[in-house]
A = this chain, B = another copy of it.
Amino acid sequence: MKYVYLFSEGNSQMRELLGGKGANLAEMTVLGMPVPQGFTVTTEACTRYYEDGEVIADEIRAQIDEYLKKLEEITGKKFGDLDNPLLVSVRSGSRASMPGMMDTILNLGLNDQVVEAFAQKTNNPRFAYDSYRRFIQMYSDVVMEVGKKYFEELIDKMKEQRGVVLDTELTAEDLKELANQFKAEYKAKLGQDFPQVAKEQLLGAVKAVFRSWNNPRAIYYRRMNDIPSSWGTAVNVQSMVFGNMGNTSGTGVAFTRNPATGEKKLYGEFLMNAQGEDVVAGIRTPQTIDQLAQVMPAVYKQFADYAEKLERHYRDMQDMEFTIENEKLYMLQTRNGKRTAAAALKIAVDLVDEGMISADEAVLKVEPRQLDALLHPQFDAAALKAAKSVAQGLPASPGAAAGAVYFTAEDATKAAKNGKVVLVRLETSPEDIEGMNAAQGILTVRGGMTSHAAVVARGMGTCCVAGCGAIKMDEENKCFHVGEQTVREGDWISIDGSTGHVYIGEIATVEASLTGDFGRFMAWADKKRRLRVRTNADTPRDAEQAVRFGAEGIGLCRTEHMFFEGDRIKAIREMIVSETVEQRKAALEKLLPMQRGDFEGIFEAMGERPVTIRFLDPPLHEFLPTADEDIAALAKEMGMGESKLRQIVGDLHELNPMLGHRGCRLAITYPEIAEMQTRAVIEAAINVKKRLGLNIVPEIMIPLVGIVKEFSFVRGIVVEVADRIIRESGVALDYLVGTMIEIPRACVVADEIAKEAQFFSFGTNDLTQMGFGFSRDDVGKILGSYFDKKILESDPFARLDQEGIGKLVKMAVELGRKSRPDIKLGICGEHGGDPSSVEFCHFAGLNYVSCSPFRVPIARLAAAQAVIAEEKANKK
């Protein structure tokens, strides 16, 4: 097994083995660019390291030795040599770019003797001792995990003694003394001498890189970005070049295009007489990259040439690092540059216009998730930089918002008339809808990515941070505590629903704007994709919004959300507390015109696009009041004894409402509800057809079917009522009756269900709940532990669990198609807007995905990328 590669042995195709950085260093070497030579220890060595119980195998050590020798031959320098010492940098480099990994270690190879020789050879003792003390400090911090602060204290003390302010004012002697103090500190903390043998230093650094793969920040980042922990990281060992050798040396970073806007122009900065970390540290102000043309015109020209060559070679915007050592340019790194959503879009479109890439390739250049940023307000980048997050919850609904804090939906609604508002709740419930609608942002203490707050906020496109446990609510006193601070009603906070961060005070936001590039880009994606993209929308407003975002239909219209507004809640409550079928029918009679009106509005908004309407789904008690005073008020309003009402509410109580009296079970126990809803749907379709001449084919969806006879029973009601109304109206109307597949048992008997159902829509929220046995309202507490303990790498409510739940979906697809080859298959769970889940749906052979309006563009792009992935796989 080969675990080590010279840069000259690799190329950019070997990313999985060499990591991104290693593969690109190899590629630049192959392209003949001036790269300080070195070698890469592979990602497989990292995996092996963990398999072996965090030990570097002898086999790997031997190969590192062997390649070190080769590097010495190439450079003509030697590790530990006093005449011509080899110094190296050690850097991590995984397959995907990942923050949180180990900091670079520079100047490795220095020791007490070598530093002397180095001082003489460079004729720059100050530089040599500065390098040495930095190396000791980095090595102690990064490899041995002795805190940085101990060394910084020593520096501060030295400066104080010398009566100077800046590090640069310290002399060579001071720095030599500091290096000695550092070594003593090292020994005091670790009980052993600072390693003087270069090879030992090197193995320590390699091990530190491997170890950093599993530090908490890295794990968190992987989870957020769906990177499997099995990938591992490579280690790049590169001979040092020095940008701090004097005024003819320097170092810098540059992008081939502007990473914020996408503008085609070299963008970057450099510092003369500096090493990499000085650029970042911000003590001296770097110059912009175009100033290099004045400072060193030849070097600038050479760099600009390489930049263009690399961009054309990689056919993407590059992010490069370089060092100038005594007027000689060295390329230290190149990679596809990170960019904002806006830049990603512009660059993708420009590269097509420049003939550099095809439309298909452009489609791959934008991460679907990034599109979100183009559709929502964001914090002003400069303002955000100055702000400090005080807490972090779940990024439940994207966008940024700032506003005055209110703790009840009622207060928020009132205050919203006079300004911006953030609604802060322990958790939201359907009664909060109006306040949620009025608020710029929503912050909840409890609940996960699919809690009520999260789902509703995403539907509305309102920013939401959910499950922010660091916030301690004190509802009584209308305030909350976070850390040492207290935020009272009316105080301003800012929340970022894309990151989950919460800030105290106001951070300026910038509005979203869709450029012309957006339309061109999405048209390429639409041309490519086969999956249709629908939306989950319950109101004409949402439906219109979704159509603007490219929705091709409604995959889920939740009829219950319509029941919370104004007078309707009265009627629905009347329906629920009815004691006879007649009473219930009378109450439903009141709801009928309202529902019919809703459906007419939605049909009008959607035109002839398909609309799937789900029949009443939630447990009825969700509609009832729980607080004593509310019960009293309702009883009075309804002319019912308070204790009677309390008894009815009590009877409706369930220990596990998610597994209770809901979904089609409501229509089975109270068929008159299904009758009313059928009437409302069919009459609305007929009315709109008559009025506008639109050919509407409503799709009626029976939720929560687990037993084929449940479906048959409700379908029987629907068909009977619908056919009668159609007959009586004299207007021809087609309609479909299908079901949600969201109960595990339904997947297993999908062949039976498909004999009667004309479509399936996978309700992957519930399927995930029941398939895993996780209550989506309670799972927040558990997920934290599961992430920490690496039991789960992502939230199965946000990203479809393909291994388990996905297998159930595939089973249902297969069985369903066996019984009814032309069955329409879709998904309407929250996963419908998650890129990796959309890809799964494509490969599982669904006809469409449905997601909240603001995720429609994401799904469109992800569906296109899935086709391209499929084509690639087929070519192989």
User: Which A residues are closer than 8 A to B by beta carbons?
Assistant: 654-661, 663, 665, 668-669, 704, 706-707, 709-710, 713, 742-745, 748-749, 766, 769-775, 777-778, 781-782, 785-786, 789-792, 801, 803-805, 807-808
A709 B659 Cβ-Cβ under 8 A: no
Most B CB contacts (10 A, CB to CB) among A707, A709, A748, A782 go to: A748
Question: Bound state CA distance, A781 and B659, in angstroms?
Answer: 12
Residue among B770, B773, B786, B804 making CB contact with A668, cutoff 8 Å: B786
**What residues on B are CB-neighbors of A781 within 8 Å?**
661, 669
A789 B713 Cβ-Cβ under 8 A: yes
Most B CB contacts (10 A, CB to CB) among A656, A710, A790, A808 go to: A656
Question: Bound state CA distance, A654 and B778, in angstroms?
Answer: 6
Copy tally for this chain in the complex stands at: 2
What's the nearest-Cβ distance from chain B to residue A663, in Å?
A: 8
What's the nearest-Cβ distance from chain B to residue A447, in Å?
A: 10
What's the nearest-Cβ distance from chain B to residue A577, in Å?
A: 16
What's the nearest-Cβ distance from chain B to residue A451, in Å?
A: 10
A749 B803 Cβ-Cβ under 8 A: yes
What's the nearest-Cβ distance from chain B to residue A618, in Å?
A: 12
Question: Bound state CA distance, A668 and B792, in angstroms?
Answer: 12
Quick one: closest B residue to A670, CB to CB?
B785
B804 A745 Cβ-Cβ under 8 A: yes
Quick one: closest B residue to A650, CB to CB?
B426
Residue among B704, B710, B789, B791 making CB contact with A791, cutoff 8 Å: B710
B745 A782 Cβ-Cβ under 8 A: no
B668 A775 Cβ-Cβ under 8 A: no
Question: Bound state CA distance, A789 and B713, in angstroms?
Answer: 8
A655 B808 Cβ-Cβ under 8 A: no
**What residues on B are CB-neighbors of A669 within 8 Å?**
781-782, 785
What's the nearest-Cβ distance from chain B to residue A706, in Å?
A: 5
**What residues on B are CB-neighbors of A654 within 8 Å?**
775, 777-778
A selection of 14 A-B contacts at a CB cut-off of 8 Å is: A654-B775, A657-B778, A659-B659, A668-B791, A669-B782, A707-B804, A709-B790, A710-B791, A744-B770, A748-B771, A748-B807, A748-B808, A749-B807, A770-B773
Residue among B655, B709, B804 making CB contact with A706, cutoff 8 Å: B804
A743 B772 Cβ-Cβ under 8 A: yes
A706 B772 Cβ-Cβ under 8 A: yes
Quick one: closest B residue to A668, CB to CB?
B785
What's the nearest-Cβ distance from chain B to residue A673, in Å?
A: 13
A775 B807 Cβ-Cβ under 8 A: no
Asked whether A778 and B808 contact (CB < 8 A) given A669-B785, A772-B706, A791-B713, the answer is no
Quick one: closest B residue to A804, CB to CB?
B745
CB-based closest 4 A-B pairs = A659-B775, A656-B775, A744-B744, A745-B804
**What residues on B are CB-neighbors of A656 within 8 Å?**
656-659, 775, 777-778
Question: Bound state CA distance, A471 and B147, in angstroms?
Answer: 70
Question: Bound state CA distance, A749 and B807, in angstroms?
Answer: 9
**What residues on B are CB-neighbors of A790 within 8 Å?**
709
What's the nearest-Cβ distance from chain B to residue A725, in Å?
A: 23
Quick one: closest B residue to A791, CB to CB?
B709
Question: Bound state CA distance, A97 and B770, in angstroms?
Answer: 40
Question: Bound state CA distance, A704 and B785, in angstroms?
Answer: 16
Residue among B668, B710, B773 making CB contact with A659, cutoff 8 Å: B773
Residue among B661, B713, B742, B777 making CB contact with A782, cutoff 8 Å: B661
Quick one: closest B residue to A651, CB to CB?
B781
Residue among B665, B748, B770 making CB contact with A770, cutoff 8 Å: B770
Quick one: closest B residue to A786, CB to CB?
B668
Question: Bound state CA distance, A707 and B774, in angstroms?
Answer: 12
Residue among B713, B743, B772, B801 making CB contact with A773, cutoff 8 Å: B743
**What residues on B are CB-neighbors of A660 within 8 Å?**
775, 778, 782
Quick one: closest B residue to A792, CB to CB?
B707
What's the nearest-Cβ distance from chain B to residue A812, in Å?
A: 12
What's the nearest-Cβ distance from chain B to residue A755, in Å?
A: 14
**What residues on B are CB-neighbors of A774 within 8 Å?**
659
Question: Bound state CA distance, A822 and B334, in angstroms?
Answer: 54
Question: Bound state CA distance, A743 and B782, in angstroms?
Answer: 16
Question: Bound state CA distance, A744 and B782, in angstroms?
Answer: 19
What's the nearest-Cβ distance from chain B to residue A647, in Å?
A: 10
**What residues on B are CB-neighbors of A744 within 8 Å?**
744, 770-771, 773, 808
Quick one: closest B residue to A472, CB to CB?
B647
Quick one: closest B residue to A773, CB to CB?
B743
**What residues on B are CB-neighbors of A773 within 8 Å?**
658-659, 663, 704, 706, 742-745, 766, 770
16 more contacts with CB within 8 A, not counting A745-B804, A748-B807, are: A655-B658, A655-B778, A656-B656, A657-B775, A658-B773, A659-B769, A659-B774, A659-B778, A706-B772, A709-B791, A713-B789, A743-B772, A748-B771, A748-B804, A749-B803, A749-B807
A658 B661 Cβ-Cβ under 8 A: no
**What residues on B are CB-neighbors of A805 within 8 Å?**
745
Question: Bound state CA distance, A661 and B775, in angstroms?
Answer: 9
What's the nearest-Cβ distance from chain B to residue A454, in Å?
A: 15
**What residues on B are CB-neighbors of A665 within 8 Å?**
782, 785
Question: Bound state CA distance, A264 and B435, in angstroms?
Answer: 81
Question: Bound state CA distance, A789 and B715, in angstroms?
Answer: 13
Question: Bound state CA distance, A392 and B423, in angstroms?
Answer: 50
**What residues on B are CB-neighbors of A655 within 8 Å?**
657-658, 775, 777-778
**What residues on B are CB-neighbors of A791 within 8 Å?**
668, 707, 709-710, 713
Question: Bound state CA distance, A802 and B742, in angstroms?
Answer: 19
What's the nearest-Cβ distance from chain B to residue A703, in Å?
A: 11
Most B CB contacts (10 A, CB to CB) among A660, A745, A778 go to: A745
B658 A659 Cβ-Cβ under 8 A: yes
What's the nearest-Cβ distance from chain B to residue A675, in Å?
A: 15
Question: Bound state CA distance, A12 and B636, in angstroms?
Answer: 68
**What residues on B are CB-neighbors of A748 within 8 Å?**
771, 804, 807-808
Question: Bound state CA distance, A782 and B792, in angstroms?
Answer: 35
**What residues on B are CB-neighbors of A661 within 8 Å?**
778, 781-782
Question: Bound state CA distance, A868 and B612, in angstroms?
Answer: 52
Question: Bound state CA distance, A774 and B665, in angstroms?
Answer: 10
**What residues on B are CB-neighbors of A769 within 8 Å?**
659
